[in-house]
């Protein structure tokens, strides 16, 4: 048995329905399939040589019914020619010689169902949005092109309309997808341009190297996630970022190389300062050495920083020398302060004695005051906060005795003696301030001047005493 499609002819295995010892049975009608519920014709009253069959051309039962009834859209001629009926007319789709007409309907109907299944799949993929609209459109167009030559029985016109709808919808989806891709491409291009500009700004202006380096790496990580750009645009933006990163790395490398040089210089300078501090730490010239240590500390602050561990070690070395000197100075100062407090108590006692001098006997009073003055000068220094008060009280005693009425005292000579004493007091105050500031030489010079003016004042006072 042979099936020939597209109107092909055949000469082998042609079937002829013959009844036993009679003429052939009636042929099955070429168009609509008989309904299963149709009543069977009853046999005639007289017996016939061969009984008439109850159904025309007994055919095998078809269990699978196509979704589109092939009987509506085609026919099978008695010679096996299969015709497809469409809106544009009829066309031959094959020659069926492999069974009865129902088998032909079933065969070509299944072919239509297979074709329809492909259309359903395309519709499903397009509706779900899971497939590529361009590929779906191409597949639908290709499938539509096969319909004019398709060997199927079914509603080909409806299938063509569905395929046309798929093509149209896929075209719209393709345009939407294209617009979306263009929008995404523009957004990604703008994002990479922003990242490239940020990298260029960091390369030109960054000074916080760790934070800037971390940001450069974050830009690269984000850059790798941005895709879909035009190739030429993407390459140009990558060159910008790459050049910016290279510039940044050069600047950062130069900075740290310069920093290493500065740290090496700072280390060398601070080592020299440590040596100078260690040479001074045992000095007992408290005032000048204190000033030198202050100068060394200023130089230390201006020397810059070495690496942290080196800088910390050098500072501990410098501070140890400094602490050693100032600990010794503080101990000496404590001892000196105790001596000054004892001197203040001694001068307090002399003041009490001087304030009890009777000024009525001027000569005796002045003699007593001179004796007290000699003891006063021999006692030495007192705490700075008490010196001014003690001197003020002693000057008051001196003035009281000096101003005591005597007869025949030269006022000009008296004023000169008072001026000499005031000058001596001024230089004494200067000496105290210089000593407190650690200016030993200035203090010694002021003391020498005070002593000179004190001698001149005493000489003037003696001259006045002799004139009396």
Residues 180-194 have pLDDT tens digits of 888 999 999 999 999
Q: Is the pLDDT of residue 49 over 60?
A: no
Stretch 146-157: mean pLDDT? 92
> What does the pLDDT read at residue 118?
94
Stretch 439-449: mean pLDDT? 88
Give the three-state DSSP class for 81. strand
> What does the pLDDT read at residue 403?
76
The answer to whether 366 and 461 are in contact (CB under 8 A) is yes
Tokens at 253, concatenated: 């490398």
Q: Is the pLDDT of residue 358 over 90?
A: no
Distance of CA 238 to the CA centre of its chain: 21
Residues with Cβ within 8 Å of 352's Cβ and at least 6 positions away in sequence, in order, are: none
Give percent of the chain above pLDDT 90: 35
List, for residues 4-18, the tens digit of each pLDDT value: 554 333 333 333 233
Q: Is the pLDDT of residue 1 over 50?
A: no
> What does the pLDDT read at residue 409?
56
> What does the pLDDT read at residue 452?
86
List, for residues 398-437, the tens digit of each pLDDT value: 888 877 766 555 666 777 777 888 888 888 888 888 888 8
Q: How confident is the model at residue 368 (pLDDT cuts 50, 70, 90)?
A: confident
Largest CA distance in the chain: 201
List, for residues 82-126, the tens digit of each pLDDT value: 999 998 899 999 989 888 889 989 999 999 999 999 999 999 998
The answer to whether 162 and 188 are in contact (CB under 8 A) is no
Stretch 30-54: mean pLDDT? 36
Handedness of CA 309, 313, 316, 322 (dihedral sign): negative
Q: How confident is the model at residue 392 (pLDDT cuts 50, 70, 90)?
A: confident
Distance of CA 463 to the CA centre of its chain: 90
Report the distance separating Cα 228 and Cα 245, nearest Å.
23
Give percent of the chain above pLDDT 70: 82
H or E stretch covering 324: helix 308-355
Report the distance separating Cα 389 and Cα 307, nearest Å.
54
> What does the pLDDT read at residue 24?
32
> What does the pLDDT read at residue 175?
87
Handedness of CA 407, 411, 412, 418 (dihedral sign): positive
Q: Is the pLDDT of residue 162 over 50?
A: yes
The length of the chain, given as a count of residues:
468
CA dihedral 323, 324, 326, 332 (to 10 degrees): 150
């Amino acid at each position: 048995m042979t099936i020939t499609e597209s109107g092909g002819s055949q000469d082998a295995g042609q079937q002829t329905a013959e009844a036993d010892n009679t003429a052939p049975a009636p042929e099955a009608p070429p168009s609509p399939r008989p309904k299963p519920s149709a009543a069977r014709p009853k046999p005639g009253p007289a017996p016939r040589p061969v009984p008439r069959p109850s159904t025309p051309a007994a055919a095998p039962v078809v269990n699978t019914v196509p979704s589109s009834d092939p009987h509506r859209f085609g026919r099978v001629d008695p010679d096996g020619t299969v015709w497809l009926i469409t809106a544009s007319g009829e066309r031959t789709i094959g020659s069926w010689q492999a069974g009865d007409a129902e088998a032909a309907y079933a065969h070509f109907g299944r072919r239509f169902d297979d074709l329809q299944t492909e259309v359903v799949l395309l519709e499903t993929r397009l509706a779900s949005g899971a497939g590529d609209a361009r590929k779906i459109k191409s597949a639908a167009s290709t499938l539509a092109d096969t319909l004019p030559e398709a060997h199927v029985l079914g509603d080909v016109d409806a299938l063509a309309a569905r395929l046309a709808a798929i093509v149209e919808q896929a075209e719209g989806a393709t345009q939407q997808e294209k617009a979306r891709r263009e929008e995404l491409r523009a957004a990604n291009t703008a994002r990479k341009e922003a990242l490239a500009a940020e990298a260029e700004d960091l390369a030109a202006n960054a000074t916080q190297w760790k934070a800037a380096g971390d940001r450069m790496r974050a830009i690269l990580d984000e850059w790798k996630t941005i895709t879909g750009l035009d190739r030429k645009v993407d390459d140009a933006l990558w060159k910008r970022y790459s050049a910016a990163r290279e510039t940044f790395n050069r600047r950062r490398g130069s900075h740290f190389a310069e920093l290493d040089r500065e740290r090496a210089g700072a280390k060398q300078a601070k080592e020299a300062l440590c040596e100078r501090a260690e040479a001074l730490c045992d000095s007992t010239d408290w005032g000048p050495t204190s000033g030198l240590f202050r100068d060394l500390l200023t130089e230390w602050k201006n020397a810059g920083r070495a690496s942290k561990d080196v800088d910390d070690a050098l500072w501990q070395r410098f501070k140890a020398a400094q602490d050693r000197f100032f600990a010794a100075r503080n101990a000496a100062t404590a001892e000196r302060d105790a001596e000054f407090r004892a001197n203040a108590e001694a001068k307090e006692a002399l003041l009490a004695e001087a304030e009890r001098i009777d000024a009525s006997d001027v000569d005796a009073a002045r003699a007593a005051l001179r004796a007290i003055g000699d003891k006063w000068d021999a006692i030495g220094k007192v705490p700075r906060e008490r010196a001014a008060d003690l001197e003020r009280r002693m000057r008051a005693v001196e003035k009281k005795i000096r101003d005591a009425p005597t007869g025949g005292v030269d006022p000009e000579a008296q004023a000169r003696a008072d001026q000499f004493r005031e000058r001596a007091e001024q230089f004494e105050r200067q000496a105290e301030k210089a000593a407190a500031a650690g200016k030993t030489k200035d203090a010694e010079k002021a003391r020498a001047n005070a002593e000179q003016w004190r001698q001149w004042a005493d000489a003037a006072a003696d001259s006045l005493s002799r004139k009396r």
